[in-house]
């Protein structure tokens, strides 16, 4: 039993069986009539190690989903006004794959868009850029339950012809 326990103790899940066999082998070699006490002790130690690792793995698998589901939503909201040739930018960071809800409204037509960080820099330099979602010459941009990847993002509201009063709210869940 001591040898079987020692050999099985090296095999991840079978390490539990190796631990049990090693304990049996340890009790059989206690009085000294049978040999293999050292192998039994080693089997108990190695099997115990695997039991510990398996326990930690199960615990980890149970705790991580609970931690991820308890993330509080982030809410960003603001109101303000712009002249016709101005724009505002609101940056926000998404740390993990997340759902975003956004509502941006203006009293006069404006360009409203969401850009990733590298595209925002291109926008500022006056170069051609790609927007994730945009509403041009409009008074409203809405996103509902839209999944976005981790990264840095910017909401842009750009006045066109007339001064603009705006309000927006961004919810990241």
Closest CA to 58 of 18, 13, 21: 13
The mean pLDDT of 98-127, rounded to a whole number, is: 91
Which SS3 state, helix, strand or coil, does residue 138 take? strand
Q: Which residues contact 33 (CB under 8 A, 6 or more apart)?
A: none
Return the sign of the alpha-carbon dihedral for residues 100, 101, 106, 112: positive
**Predicted confidence band of residue 74 (pLDDT cuts 50, 70, 90):** confident
- pLDDT value at position 71? 67
- Residue 68 vs residue 30, higher pLDDT: 30
* Strands (E) located in the chain: 74-82, 87-94, 98-116, 133-148, 151-159, 164-172
Model confidence, pTM: 0.59
Say whether pLDDT at 13 is over 80: no
**Predicted confidence band of residue 152 (pLDDT cuts 50, 70, 90):** very high
Spatial contact of 158 and 58, defined as CB atoms under 8 Å apart: no
Residues above pLDDT 90, as percent of the chain: 34
- Residue 32 vs residue 141, higher pLDDT: 141
- pLDDT value at position 81? 93
β-partners of residue 115 are 154
Say whether pLDDT at 12 is over 80: no
Spatial contact of 102 and 155, defined as CB atoms under 8 Å apart: yes
d(CA 94, CA 64): 19
The mean pLDDT of 4-32, rounded to a whole number, is: 81
DSSP 91: E
**Predicted confidence band of residue 69 (pLDDT cuts 50, 70, 90):** low
The token duo for 34 is 């049978």
**Got the DSSP string for 24-42?**
HHHHHTTTSSSS-HHHHHH
CA 43 remoteness from chain centre: 39
Q: Among 3-12, 51-60, 117-126, name the one with the lowest average pLDDT.
A: 3-12
Question: What are 82-98's pLDDT values in tens digits?
Answer: 998 899 999 999 888 88
Say whether pLDDT at 168 is over 90: yes
């Amino acid at each position: 039993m001591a040898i079987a326990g020692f050999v099985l103790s090296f095999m991840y899940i079978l390490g539990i069986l190796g631990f049990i066999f090693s304990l049996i082998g340890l009790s059989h070699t206690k009085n000294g009539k049978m040999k293999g006490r050292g192998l039994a002790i080693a089997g108990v130690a190695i099997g115990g190690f695997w039991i510990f690792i398996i326990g930690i793995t199960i615990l980890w698998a149970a705790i991580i989903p609970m931690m991820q589901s308890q993330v509080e939503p982030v809410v960003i909201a603001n109101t303000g006004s712009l002249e016709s040739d101005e724009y505002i930018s609101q940056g926000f960071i998404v740390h993990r794959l997340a759902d975003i809800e956004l509502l941006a409204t203006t009293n006069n037509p404006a360009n409203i868009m969401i850009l990733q960080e590298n595209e925002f820099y291109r926008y500022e330099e006056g170069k051609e850029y790609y927007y994730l979602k945009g509403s041009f010459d409009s008074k409203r941009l809405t996103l509902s339950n839209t999944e976005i990847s981790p990264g840095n993002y910017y909401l842009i509201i750009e006045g066109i012809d007339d001064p603009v009063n705006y309000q927006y709210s961004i919810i990241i869940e």
